[in-house]
Amino acid sequence: MGQACGHALLCRSQPPSSEIRGQQVFLRPEESSAPAPTSRQSAVPSEQLQDALLRLAAVVDARSLRAALQDSIRELLPSTECVCLYMLEGDSRLLSDDPPHELPPEGKIRSIVDQLKRCQCAGLPLPELPEKYRICLAAPLPAHKRALVIPILNQERHKAIAVLLVGCNPLSDQDELHLNTMEKHASVACIRVQAVQTSYQRPPLSPSPIQSHNALLHLNVSDQDYCELDRNILQLCGELFDLDAASLQLKVINYLQQQTQSQCCCLLLVSEDNHQLFCQVVGDKVLEEEISFPLMFGRFGQVVEKKKSISLQDISAEERRQLSSMLGCEISSMLCVPVASRATGQVVALACAFNKQGGQRHTEADEHAIQHCFCYTSTVLTSTLAFQKEQKLKVECQALLQVAKNLFTHLDDVSVLLQEIIVEARNLSDAEICSVFLLDRVSHELVAKVFDGGVVSDEEKEFRIPADQGIAGHVATTGQILNIKDAYSHPLFYRGVDDSTGFRTRNILCFPIKDENNEVIGVAELVNKMNGPWFNRFDEDLATAFSIYCGISIAHSLLYKRVHEAQFRSHLANEMMMYHMKVSEEEVSKLLVVGIEPVMEIHPCFAEFTYTPRSLPDDTTPMCILSMFEDMGFINTYKIDMHTLARFCLMVKKGYRDPPYHNWMHAFSVTHFCYLLYKNLGLSNYLEDIEILALFVSCMCHDLDHRGTNNSFQVASQSVLAALYSSEGSVMERHHFAQAIAILNTFGCNIFEKFSRKDYQRMLDLIRDIILATDLAHHLRIFKDLQKMADDGYNPKSRTHRSMLLCLLMTSCDLSDQTKGWKTTRKIAELIYKEFFSQGDLEKAMGNRPSEMMDREKAYIPELQISFMEHIAMPIYKLLSELFPGATELYERVAANREQWTKVSHKFTIRGLPSNNSLDFLDREYELLQSQGAFGSDDQCLNGCLEDAEGGRGQ
């Protein structure tokens, strides 16, 4: 921190090296044009602020105070138009002399003043203002003008001793900072002027306060001597404008040396916890490193406690020797006077004068001169010390932020992190040694593998101690910080290590390291304070703050390690999965050996809506996929490599598990229906080629790795998939897409490898959106938009329309089993409810209540099927028929199947599935009705279901 003050600029540097900590550098005026201040000197006040503070520091009477306050405001706020100043008279009257008037005891301005905070507003009530200031202060003010109410506070009395009304432009952040500083110095100046006025307002016939004081002390101090003291102290007060405590002490000590005619003076400052005395300045020297010693050192503790002065004759020879060592000279005389805070009455410092000139002893007059000095300067001294403490805290906070940055750059290695914690803790607290232990909850031990000298090698054994023994164990058990001023006198300290190593442990600060749940995860132990007799309260606060960063960084490092391990395990599992899914070159060659089979050779009705793809044997389906790719023109259009396409198809087939319904045969049926839409509805007139390809591939991949359970089950069971995707919704659909990408990324499976970068990205985006559309919740959300699109008319040039149409087509493909013959529809219902009931059983085992359609004891299948077809399936195909007239037969077939469910429902007298898990008995009713001509004849196109084919290629 640097601070320019009058005729000298004091720059205090605090480099990280402990050897030069606290070094002072004094610059002469001609050196003030030194290089620009560093980042740690960024708080240097502006020249305008320095001038304002100097002006306030020089005032000694009310008139000069008024002028100084008004000039300071105009200096700091160049846009100021007017300044009205009120000074406190008596207990509550606030008076102004320009023009002479009193601030109304009630009203808006008085209420703002009573809040004791600066206020910026758009104007003040006109009746409360004298006419002179109404133009620049009265409401309403223009948008670019503001009225300020600035109370100058006496913090001890908690009241305003002066008030400034200012008309100016809105304040900037810099203006706010300057006013904060100015207000503190204005407060000191007002208190000083009041004190001076009080000292001169004494009745002529009664003794003055100083005369009364002299009488009590039996001092022979004349009024002439007192006036001389007054002049000297006022001159000193005018020079006490420094924001640096050491610089201020230099001036006060120089004054004391002159007044007491002493060779050397110093101030012993009392620490906030009243446990230490520390000295920053001795004579005309600022110490490179402050000296501190216990408050109970000799008789000085009694001076603080009893508030009575002592001389050289009152201290022991040992104390005299130590003081001589501190001063660097022999002591022939001494006077130690307590300095009390005017706010609290507590002793905040001891003023010491040594070696009176001429070999004389210090007198009572010297004691009075010291007391008289601090009567006026103690407030400035304590305020400056408080300011310096705030600056020190600011620096320490910045250091802690840097510590946090350093710690969080080593999360990948716990040992390196612990080593960094040791280094940072030792530097922050000026400790000689630091140790860090982690708590092993399994063995209930504190473990240290990192020491001040480094990390132990793998061959060396880590150091372990019971978690409930010794100082570290006590802290780990209680979770409380422990500050031991004398280690050898503490019952928990074990001296054996010191005796064996020759090391001497003087004091210890041991603090817990906790995680975000406030659980102790480790302990840090600092040994031997280097620049003090022991660790103080400030060190405790610093350790507490530091431990928070340590706890978070250690917890995150351990979590980081677990995440890495989980990633490795996941990678290994993925490699193993891909190994078992791996398609051999032999399988690819076998598939392509006879070339691609034309679709008409698969079955004459293969491209008709009535064809049932489930009639095909499972091992022929990959060739059927290739045939459809060829027939739709994708292979030639996009130059897809045949081996890559064959490998991709085989990999996708292997990527499906074998639940009753959501298996590869379902994916193949959905993909075949996409082919039917292309062949029968002329999709090329509605969609771009790349969109049709994306729809076809999405149909193949839309249920990859389906586990036979839905999204709700994944979330309720807190599965791995839910952990990955539940925050985004559509858990299973996102997993299906991720599996599709994994297959595309597998070597030799990327069928889009020849796409441009732009087309490749678009293809992946289309596949993602289309697969996500298979979530029926998504379909229900967009159904109104789909209906509006059908009502308004489809626009193939609209990207939004094309996107919604892709979603509708995907959903219609996904439910396409409902458009087949009754036997297929019935068989599909059987497979679906097998899967549903299996999930319901799992939910019951988890202690949850499944929904009705998942509960084999409650589900009434005909009713559920009728409801599903009426509310989901039929509206979808109705909408499809409105957009594509050729899709009308699909809607009619779904409606016919719904009617058949109604006709057979009277035969369904059970809940769930029959004991044989088959609905074949419903076919007899259908066959009877069909023989009676109820449904017409569709034998030429209806292939039935898989078990009807008996391994053939259809009828």
Residues belonging to the active site: 662
Number of Cα atoms under 13 Å in the Cβ half of residue 222: 3
Residue type, 668: F
Rounded distance, CA 660 to CA 708, Å? 8
310 class by beta-carbon count within 10 Å (0-12 exposed, 13-18 middle, 19+ buried): buried
Per the DSSP assignment, residues forming a β-bridge with 25 are 11
Non-local (6+) Cβ contacts of 321 within 8 A are none
**What would the two tokens of residue 380 be?**
């400035």
Non-local (6+) Cβ contacts of 802 within 8 A are 686, 687, 688, 691, 796
DSSP conformation letters of 277-305: EEEEEETTEEEEEEEEEETTSTTHHHHHH
Rounded distance, CA 827 to CA 666, Å? 12
Rounded distance, CA 955 to CA 944, Å? 9
Rounded distance, CA 649 to CA 627, Å? 12
**What would the two tokens of residue 102 be?**
């009193």
Please check whether residue 736 is in contact with residue 705, taking contact to mean a CB–CB distance below 8 angstroms. Answer: yes
Rounded distance, CA 390 to CA 881, Å? 77
Number of Cα atoms under 13 Å in the Cβ half of residue 600: 0
The answer to whether the Cα torsion of 34, 38, 41, 46 is positive or negative is positive
Non-local (6+) Cβ contacts of 180 within 8 A are none
Q: If DSSP states are collapsed to H, E and C, what string results for 691-712?
A: HHHHHHHHHHHCCCCCCCCCHH
Rounded distance, CA 196 to CA 189, Å? 11
Residue type, 506: R
Coil, strand, or helix at residue 401? helix
Rounded distance, CA 624 to CA 630, Å? 10
Per the DSSP assignment, residues forming a β-bridge with 338 are 350
Q: If DSSP states are collapsed to H, E and C, what string results for 862-888?
A: HHHHHHHHHHHHHHHHHHHHHHCHHHH
Coil, strand, or helix at residue 624? helix
Side by side, the strands of the sheet bearing 310-311 are: 285-294, 276-282, 262-270, 347-356, 334-340, 310-311
Please check whether residue 380 is in contact with residue 252, taking contact to mean a CB–CB distance below 8 angstroms. Answer: no
Residue (of 242, 302, 185, 263) closest to 3 by Cα position: 242
Quick count: other Cβ atoms within 10 Å of Cβ 479?
Answer: 13
Residue (of 585, 910, 635, 550) closest to 747 by Cα position: 585
Please check whether residue 160 is in contact with residue 151, taking contact to mean a CB–CB distance below 8 angstroms. Answer: yes
Chain centre distance of CA 593: 60
Which stretches of 905-940 are DSSP H helices? Answer: 921-931
**What would the two tokens of residue 376 be?**
């006026």
Which stretches of 487-536 are DSSP H helices? Answer: 496-501
DSSP conformation letters of 183-243: HHHHHHHHHHHHHHHHHH---TTS--HHHHHHHHHT----HHHHHHHHHHHHHHHHH---S
